[in-house]
């Protein structure tokens, strides 16, 4: 790191190199959602409707994102179709040259609404399934009839000629359905499926004991995914996210803190990752007061764990430091109580055995869910 003279103290001060431009942005348009999933990754304290950014502010943010270098925006929530101005946002993204991916639960989306979303210029639809069967989807989402509604939306997406990804969050109750999830994606003519093991932040952390699979289940699932990838190569892309609790090395969360992507919450806070608000020491700048470029380059939260200088010695001297980028800061906060600690998912961490013990204990826990009952909003339009 270079140094320059501070004009006030005349002492040398470090000059932080400019970060690379982000190429992805998660736009959390609302936290309103008709489902009550126990693994919800949104924060425990949700943004209410009256603090959501208005359309003009979102348009400005999308324009600033395009100038900053963002190539794709994931329109998410909650349920993004709860925003009646979603089509206006999509049209604006098209105008400024950003690829748009709609991440939806699908249960409140009519064919007419999908047609309007398609006409606005959406590039891709990612549809969540909580199970590969109606019984499982309805149980996990706590929404009767959810599965059949999702099937209808998936078929309509393909009828409109839009690319479709099936997103399946797996955990102890449905991990055995991974082969059926893959068959479901094929039957719906999806070109991609994301098999994402539940990650234990936000509301999901409350349900860790009801969601955690066993070690044997996880490694069985990995074998199933690898076999399916080989068998379906060129026909279906299968992305998989494993639970860190059984890992040897930490995942390079967001490919490094503040390196490639950013999240904007419904109220306008900008986060380096989806769960960053679980770190209480960080102050997140808001697009109401700062430009996206200022936040990306200068905000203390983005610079807190950017690069490698912040790392503890165990990580700083590791040959994988620019592969894992220190792993997950939110997980270090959750398990070690210190966001700057070595990620306990790493087998070199002194807390790695503790993390494994937590997983093994939780895998024998209750199967009763603490549903997000207060998430239910006024219905999507």
Structural domains in the chain, CATH included, are: 24-243 (3.20.20.70), 307-367 (no CATH)
Annotated binding-site members for [4Fe-4S] cluster: 33, 37, 40
Spatial CA neighbour of 127 closest among 170, 76, 87:
76
Residue 35 token pair = 């489902």
Task: Write the DSSP string, 162-214.
Answer: --EEEEEEE-TTTGGGHHHHHHHHHHTT-SEEEEEE---SHHHHHTHHHHPPP
Question: Is the pLDDT reported for residue 376 higher than 60?
Answer: no
Which pLDDT score, from 0 to 100, does residue 201 have?
86
Place 378 in a pLDDT band, splitting at 50, 70 and 90: very low
Question: Is the pLDDT reported for residue 1 higher than 60?
Answer: no
Of 365 and 210, the structure prediction assigns the larger pLDDT to 210
Query: Alpha carbon of 206 to those of 104, 193, 212, 279, 377: distances in Å?
Result: 23, 27, 11, 16, 21
Q: Which of 141-150, 288-297, 371-380 has the lowest mean pLDDT?
A: 371-380
Which pLDDT score, from 0 to 100, does residue 379 have?
43
Question: Is the pLDDT reported for residue 67 higher than 70?
Answer: yes
State the average pLDDT over residues 313-342: 94
Annotated binding-site members: 33, 37, 40
Which pLDDT score, from 0 to 100, does residue 6 have?
47
State the average pLDDT over residues 81-108: 97
Question: Is the pLDDT reported for residue 15 higher than 80?
Answer: no
C-alpha–C-alpha distance, residues 343 and 328, integer Å: 6
Which residues sit opposite 237 in a β-bridge? 192
pTM: 0.92
Count of Cβ atoms closer than 10 Å to residue 366 Cβ: 10
Query: pLDDT digit string (tens) for 209-247?
Result: 999 999 999 999 999 999 999 999 999 999 998 888 998
Spatial CA neighbour of 105 closest among 72, 135, 75:
75
State the average pLDDT over residues 316-323: 95
Place 48 in a pLDDT band, splitting at 50, 70 and 90: very high
């Amino acid at each position: 790191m270079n140094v320059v003279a501070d004009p006030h103290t005349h002492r040398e001060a470090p000059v932080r190199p400019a970060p690379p431009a982000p190429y992805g942005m998660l736009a959390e348009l609302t936290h309103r959602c008709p489902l009550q999933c126990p693994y919800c990754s949104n924060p425990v304290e949700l943004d209410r409707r009256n603090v959501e950014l208005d359309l003009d502010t979102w348009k400005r943010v999308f324009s600033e994102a395009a100038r900053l270098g963002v190539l794709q925006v994931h329109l998410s929530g909650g349920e993004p179709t709860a925003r009646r101005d979603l089509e206006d946002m999509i049209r604006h993204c098209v105008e400024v040259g950003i690829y748009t991916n709609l991440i939806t639960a699908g249960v409140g989306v009519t064919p007419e609404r999908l047609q309007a979303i398609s006409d606005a210029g959406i590039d891709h639809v990612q549809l969540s399934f909580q199970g590969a069967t109606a019984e499982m989807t309805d149980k996990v989402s706590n929404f009767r009839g959810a599965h059949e509604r999702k099937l209808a939306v998936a078929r309509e997406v393909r009828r409109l000629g839009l690319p479709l990804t099936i997103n399946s969050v797996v955990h102890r109750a449905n991990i055995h359905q991974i082969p059926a999830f893959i068959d479901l994606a094929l039957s719906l003519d999806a070109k991609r499926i994301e098999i994402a093991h539940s990650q234990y932040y936000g509301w999901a952390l409350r349900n860790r004991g009801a969601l955690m699979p066993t070690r044997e289940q996880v490694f069985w699932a990995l074998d199933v995914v690898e076999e399916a990838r080989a068998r379906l190569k060129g026909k279906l892309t299968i992305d998989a996210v494993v639970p860190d609790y059984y890992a040897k090395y930490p995942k390079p969360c967001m490919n490094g803190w503040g390196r490639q992507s950013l999240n904007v919450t419904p109220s306008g806070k900008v986060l380096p990752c989806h769960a960053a608000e679980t770190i209480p020491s960080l102050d997140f700048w808001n697009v109401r007061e700062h430009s996206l470029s200022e936040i990306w380059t200068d905000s203390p939260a983005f610079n807190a764990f950017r690069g490698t200088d912040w790392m503890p010695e165990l990580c700083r001297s590791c040959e994988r430091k620019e592969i894992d980028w220190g792993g997950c800061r939110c997980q270090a906060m959750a398990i070690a109580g210190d966001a700057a600690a070595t990620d306990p998912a790493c087998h070199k961490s002194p807390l790695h055995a503790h993390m494994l013990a937590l997983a093994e204990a939780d895998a024998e826990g209750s199967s009763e869910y603490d549903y997000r009952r207060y998430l239910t909003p006024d219905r999507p339009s």
